[in-house]
A and B are shown apart, each in its own frame.
Chain A
Amino acid sequence: MRSAPILSDSSTGIPILSLEAVSKRYGSRIALDGITLDVADDSYVSLLGASGSGKTVLLRAIAGFEPLDGGTIALRGEPLSDRPAHRRNIGFVFQNFALFPHLTVQQNIAFGLENRAADRPSARLVAERVRAMVDLVGLSGLESRAVTAISGGQRQRVALARTLVAEPTLVLLDEPLGALDANLRARMCGELRRIRERLGVTFLHVTGSETEALAMGDEVVVLDAGRIAQIGAPDTVYGRPADAAVAKFLNCYNMFAGRPGPASFETEGARLPVRGMPEPRSGAVYAIRHDLIAVRPIDAAVEEAEARLTGDFLASEYSGPAVTSFFRLPSGTVVTVEDHLSHREPQLFEPGRAYGLVWRAADALVLPAREASRA
């Protein structure tokens, strides 16, 4: 089992949430396979995983909606095993928001304070705290609206406010931006970070989108087939994925299977130089990021610190800030090259013509070949 590095570097030293060998199975299907993880106080952690990787199950287990088959979950060092969901003081923001459809915005937000099992504040205090929260999430003026009569973005804010007003120890967000359109999603990303920083509460944000996970998290946890594949800062995960599964999931690497040799990697009928990587063991793949490949005429010279493959140009896709071009290697493998238009002039390629695909050897990675369980 992989042991999790401790993220906690806060002053108290006690992680707000710690999972120890958490496992869960449905029949013969293993959903969570010994998850061990510590989450630091006052941090924003994104939990990235494909659908079926167990990320939602993990979140639901922490909230207390799913009983565990093994392992322990502790909140501020206190084990949660015997505490039912309504006594955990962990906030949960549902993907579909799960607002109370028969209540107004105001009543939805006040629900937790008015109905929780313990420690109910007076009506005056409830009203005060609801008002403050309404201001914080930007819902002023909508208090008496029915939640069925507001927009998707506003519902998202109600869901968030309803959870935050109860001052939970930890907030779990299950694909909270999934139901929003792209424009709104970008805006809510910033809002979520701002609100979290204002309140100093820890967010554990589950998402299937690699860009969202990298943008939101102080720390990114990559989950694959019920196991933690990698934990690290966003730039570490992006620049140095732990294995082929993570790299594949990040969706920005060309990967070639082959045989590692001394300071080189044999693949696609070529011996590519490898720099600055530890000597790879067997079962490795060679990975180079889409945006680190340069396209040159077929007869251009190759420098000593560079690696090169040749491929025929297939097609390009224009996506606004970038152009993505596809090249077919002699073996049939397709290589993706991404050109950011702000950095380079868009190059025009002739379909069917062979080009040299060149990158700095030091940019390439040789990764353990554990395949992603699901693409």
Chain B
Amino acid sequence: MTVLTSGSALASAASAAPKPRRSLAAYWLIAPGVAWMVLFLLLPILMMVYVSFWTQTTFKVEPILTAKSWVAFFSSDTYVGALWTTIRIWLVVLTATLVVGYPAALFVGLMVRNKTTATALLVLCVIPFWTSFLIRVLAWRPMLGGQGAVNIILEKLHIISQPIEALLFTELSVVIGMTQIYCVFMVGPIAFMLGRIDPFVIEAAQDLGAGFWRIFRTIIFPMSLPGVVVGAIFVSVMVLGEFATAAALSGHKVNLIGNIIVTQVGSLKWAFAAVAGVVLTAVIAVIVAVLLRLVDLRQEL
């Protein structure tokens, strides 16, 4: 009892003592970051929203507020179509990176129990990044073209008798290119989460009588979900803002919101470009918010 009393006395003394004043110096640590983000992210975004309401004429844009650009954007089949194309390609690419990336992550993160080997395999995934992004995109042209590598190989194997023309300069080629380029961003986070699963936990599930698919469905997949969400956020943010892959591999046939922005800026239509930018930002924000809702990342990571 004496121990208890003295213990609680100590506790109350501790709580009664004045809290140490948080040093102002701590805030100086984030000052450069905050300044940078305000100057080069927050202000430009606000400016973008502002400019989207400016008056656009053929040759100049004036700071006279109007909703004309917004009306023009949403009444144009080209722009609205680009919005839907963007969302469609995003969904397809997200699914494709998950389908291709998850098994790879499963292998690296779970089957390979040697940490050095797992790291080496992940580095292997990153090797394509040693070449520039544009080179990687353009390299798909000689792969997918009518006289490209894929067609030649398929013909030599007598699987096809004439080249598949649909491989290049179609939506398919854009999806193939994007899946290859962004897949690694899906593999990394998932492999990381899978690598953190205690092997004994899987053995415990096995010991309790569960077969492989049961264990996958009830233990492995739920525990890797935070990795899937983080990977999906990476891929989504990058694919939604894409324009180069679409331009290079579709022969300008597939127009994403990103491509619209590029052409509008190119022809000095700042107000239209700003509308497209605001729409794109809003779409990304909604998608990221929804993805974050799926898993409580703060708790899981």
Contacts and interface: CB of A to CB of B under 8 A. Distances in A.
Q: Do A and B bind each other?
A: yes
A117 B208 CA distance: 9
| Chain B interface helix/strand/loop/mixed | helix
Tell me which of B203, B207, B215, B223 has the highest count of chain A C-beta atoms within 10 A of its own C-beta: B207
B209 A89 contact: yes
A92 B207 contact: yes
Contact of A111 (B208, B211, B222): B208
A111 B205 contact: yes
B209 A87 contact: yes
Interface stretch (A96-104, A257-265, A285-293, A324-332): A96-104
Contacts of A98: 198, 200-201, 203-204
Contacts of B198: 96, 98
Contact of B208 (A102, A118, A163): A163
B211 A86 contact: yes
Nearest to B207: A92
Contacts of B207: 63, 65, 85-86, 90-92, 163
A280 interface: no
Interface residues of B, number: 18
A100 B200 contact: no
A116 interface: yes
A116 B210 contact: yes
A92 B209 CA distance: 11
Interface string B211-223: 1001100110011
Given A96-B198, A98-B198, A102-B223, A117 B210 contact: yes
Interface in B225-282: none
Interface string A64-108: 010000000000000000001111011110101011111000000
A28 interface: no
Contacts of A87: 209
A166 interface: yes
Nearest to B203: A65
B226 to A, nearest CB: 10
Interface string A298-315: 000000000000000000
B286 to A, nearest CB: 27
A59 B285 CA distance: 52
Nearest to A65: B203
A84 B215 CA distance: 14
A102 B218 CA distance: 10
A11 interface: no
Interface string B49-70: 0000000000000000000000
Interface of A: 63, 65, 84-87, 89-92, 94, 96, 98-102, 111-112, 115-118, 162-163, 166
30 contacts: A65-B206, A65-B207, A84-B206, A86-B206, A86-B207, A86-B208, A86-B209, A86-B211, A90-B207, A92-B203, A98-B198, A98-B201, A100-B205, A100-B219, A101-B201, A101-B223, A102-B219, A102-B223, A111-B210, A111-B218, A112-B209, A115-B210, A115-B215, A115-B218, A116-B209, A116-B210, A117-B211, A162-B204, A163-B207, A166-B208
